[in-house]
Amino acid sequence: MIELTDAEFEQFQKLIYSTCGINLTLNKKQLLVSRLRKRMESLSLTSFRAYREHVIKKGNEEEFSQMLNAVSTNKTDFFREPIHFEFLRTQVYPSLIKNSKIRIWCAASSSGEEPYTLAMTLAEALGGTNRDVKILATDISTKVLAEAEQAVYSSEMVRPIPAPLLKKYFLKGHNESEGKYQVKDELKKWVHFKRLNLTEPLPLSIEFDYIFCRNVMIYFDQVTRESLVCRMEPFIKRGGHLFIGNAESLSGLTHPYKYVQPAIYQRK
């Protein structure tokens, strides 16, 4: 069995923090061991030190991104934290649907549940999918992005979706795809997936009507959070909203937003 010493753990901690802002605490050590061990086995490396040297070597960027895939957790659900979707339906969509184009950024999209939930609720508000809507869905993990593009979910995963919406926006699998559901193309065409590291400069030249950035900042320390929400501001239209996770808060941070209600902020 390969062991990870505390000193080695600390080195990974620093490497991961400096490259993607995720702060691995010591209680995540076991998680790191089990996830990285698989990567090391596939490369036939026999120590964590050797693995660390391998991933930072020039030319091994792909393995580096594999490592980030392994350490970034991706818990997500359709209609997770439903109060935000209710807020959108009652406070945002009524005026938004008058616009000729709608642009949304889902900044930590994971395997796609959140951007597709946004797409469904918006399609309901618009009464169809013919309008010019684009949802940018980004994540640091290429693995979850590939899953999100497939847009195939198990019956367990689609459970939170109200039955009429499931029927309207998903194809039900048959035969070997029994028990699987796939998002229909008419909805999928709105959602564009792209890898993006939120701790790096944001390569965007667009203003979004609102940004969803939920349950990613819990991995960041205060400095990284503050930097991120400040850097996001110019990409939100004036009066547009920033949604963060219910477990997250901007209190104690210096930021330019107006507080609306828990986990919802507005650009002034």
Distance (Å, rounded) from C-alpha 35 to C-alpha 101? 42
- Which helix (H) or strand (E) segment is 48 a member of? helix 48-56
User: Least distance in Å: CB of 102 to other proteins?
Assistant: 11
Residue among 188, 207, 199 nearest 105 (CA):
207
**Binding test (CB under 8 A) with other proteins, winner from 59, 127, 203, 252:** 203
Going from the C-alpha of 248 to that of each of 76, 116, 252, the distances in angstroms are: 15, 22, 11
- Going by their DSSP bridges, the two strands 236-244 and 170-172 should be labelled as unpaired
**Binding test (CB under 8 A) with other proteins, winner from 38, 194, 237, 258:** 194
Distance (Å, rounded) from C-alpha 108 to C-alpha 206? 18
**Binding test (CB under 8 A) with other proteins, winner from 14, 192, 195, 258:** 192
In the bound state with other proteins, the residue whose beta carbon lies nearer, of 203 and 252, is 203
**Binding test (CB under 8 A) with other proteins, winner from 106, 122, 136, 151:** 136
In the bound state with other proteins, the residue whose beta carbon lies nearer, of 25 and 205, is 205
| Ordered DSSP codes for 157-190 | TTTTS-HHHHHHHEEEP-GGGTTEEEE-HHHHTT
Q: Are 154 and 179 in contact (CB under 8 A)?
A: yes
Burial code (b: 16+ CB inside 10 Å, e: under 16) for 85-109 equals bebbeeebbeebeeeeebbbbbbbb
User: Least distance in Å: CB of 242 to other proteins?
Assistant: 18
Q: Kindly tell me the sign of the dihedral angle through the C-alpha atoms of 136, 133, 209, 126.
A: negative
User: Least distance in Å: CB of 101 to other proteins?
Assistant: 7
Asked if 132 interacts with other proteins (CB under 8 A), we say yes
User: Least distance in Å: CB of 196 to other proteins?
Assistant: 9
Range 24-83, binding other proteins (CB under 8 A): none
Cα-only R_g, the chain: 20
Asked if 101 interacts with other proteins (CB under 8 A), we say yes
- How many residues sit close enough to other proteins to count as binding (CB under 8 A)? 11
**Binding test (CB under 8 A) with other proteins, winner from 206, 238, 251, 254:** 206
CA 207, 208, 210 angle in degrees (round to 5)? 145
In the bound state with other proteins, the residue whose beta carbon lies nearer, of 134 and 184, is 134
Residues annotated as catalytic (active site), given as ranges: 35, 139
In the bound state with other proteins, the residue whose beta carbon lies nearer, of 204 and 260, is 204
- Which helix (H) or strand (E) segment is 104 a member of? strand 101-106
User: Least distance in Å: CB of 194 to other proteins?
Assistant: 6
In the bound state with other proteins, the residue whose beta carbon lies nearer, of 49 and 134, is 134
**Binding test (CB under 8 A) with other proteins, winner from 28, 80, 84, 103:** 103
In the bound state with other proteins, the residue whose beta carbon lies nearer, of 192 and 258, is 192
User: Least distance in Å: CB of 74 to other proteins?
Assistant: 21
Q: Are 66 and 39 in contact (CB under 8 A)?
A: yes
Which residues are at the interface with other proteins (CB under 8 A)? 101, 103, 132, 134, 136, 192, 194, 203-206
